[in-house]
């Protein structure tokens, strides 16, 4: 398995002040792939017709959003360049222009896990979750919580392999307790863990265990076909479900991912072992 981390090397960002990224690298926009909180993603290709298609996330640097966009751009580019893994979306290139910044990434033609549609076959779901768990564990080993694990942030390549992306909310945890203020532990509300839902913004919680819980919510959503919602007793749903067609080990893994008590919930490294990932 190819995996590496380089936290000592400064993030490589092209400074294109006064230039246009797309003109500089002879690229043309094919279509918009979607818009998120931090920017819009475009499918681009070379004007010459050669080379691979890329997905380019464009961050607006207009005055009203400049500070937030620069923070998210720097975080995402930095994490993508510092931590690499077969199942993490890589950064092909990052650049900052006068009024926007961009991150170029591989294009995943099969889209994200939301685009799969409803209830999926358990063996296929387990394979996707094994890919994401390995990627998540690689981040956690270097004290980085993804902080927004969800279906929309996992992408499928042509070989049906899953890749975890969108690092704009990633959180580097430097405290020896491996906790962070609940107010900076982010994510999408439907994937929030019980401790995140109950915490005051000044409380300290474990963002790595929050990532693991979100992984469990994603696992359940693919198996059940239900959309994630805030405040759901997911563990109760799993235990009550009789038609999931899971092996005993798969059901046990899912139940442990969705354990409400973070002290009883496994780490990503433990989940890797539970899923018998080599």
CA distance 87 to 216: 18
Helix (H, G, I), strand (E, B) or coil at 145: strand
Give residues with Cβ within 8 angstroms of 71, minimum separation 6.
Answer: none
> Which two structure tokens, joined as six digits, stand for 134?
């390995």
Closest CA to 188 of 234, 153, 226, 236: 153
Give the residues across from 49 on adjacent strands: none
CA distance 218 to 188: 12
Give all strands (DSSP E) within the chain, no chain letters: 3-5, 14-15, 27-35, 40-46, 54-60, 83-85, 93-96, 100-106, 144-145, 154-156, 162-164, 171-172, 180-181, 204-205
Q: What is the dihedral of CA 52, 55, 60, 61, to 10 degrees?
A: -50
Closest CA to 150 of 166, 138, 161: 166
Q: Per the annotation, does 31 bind a ligand? A: no
Q: Which residue has the tokens 């392999």?
A: 161
Binding-site residues for ATP, please?
Answer: 58
Binding site as annotated, residues = 58
């Amino acid at each position: 398995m190819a995996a590496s981390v380089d936290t000592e090397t400064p993030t490589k960002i092209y400074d294109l002040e006064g230039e246009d990224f797309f003109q500089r690298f002879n690229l043309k926009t094919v279509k918009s792939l979607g818009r998120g909180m931090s920017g819009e993603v475009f499918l681009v290709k070379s004007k010459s017709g050669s080379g691979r298609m890329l997905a380019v996330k464009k961050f607006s640097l207009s005055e009203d959003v400049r500070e937030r966009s620069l923070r998210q751009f720097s975080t995402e580019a930095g994490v993508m360049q510092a931590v690499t893994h077969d199942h993490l979306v890589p950064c092909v290139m990052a650049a900052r222009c006068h009024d926007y910044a961009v991150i170029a990434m591989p294009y995943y033609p099969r889209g994200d896990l939301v685009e799969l549609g409803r209830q999926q076959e358990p063996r296929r779901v387990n394979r996707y979750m094994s890919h994401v768990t390995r990627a998540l564990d690689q981040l956690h080993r270097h004290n980085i919580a993804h902080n927004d694990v969800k279906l929309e942030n996992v992408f499928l390549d042509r070989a049906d392999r899953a890749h975890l992306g969108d690092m704009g909310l990633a959180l580097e945890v430097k405290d020896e307790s491996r906790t962070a203020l609940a107010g900076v532990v982010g994510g999408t509300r439907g994937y929030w863990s019980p401790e995140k839902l109950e915490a005051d913004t000044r409380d300290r919680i474990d963002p790595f265990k929050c990532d693991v819980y979100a992984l469990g919510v994603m696992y359940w959503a693919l198996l059940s076909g239900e959309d994630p919602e805030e405040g759901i007793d997911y563990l109760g749903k799993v235990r009550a479900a009789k038609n999931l067609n899971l092996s005993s080990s798969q059901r046990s893994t899912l139940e442990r991912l969705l354990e409400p008590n973070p002290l009883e919930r496994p780490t990503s490294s433990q989940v890797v072992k539970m899923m018998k990932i080599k």
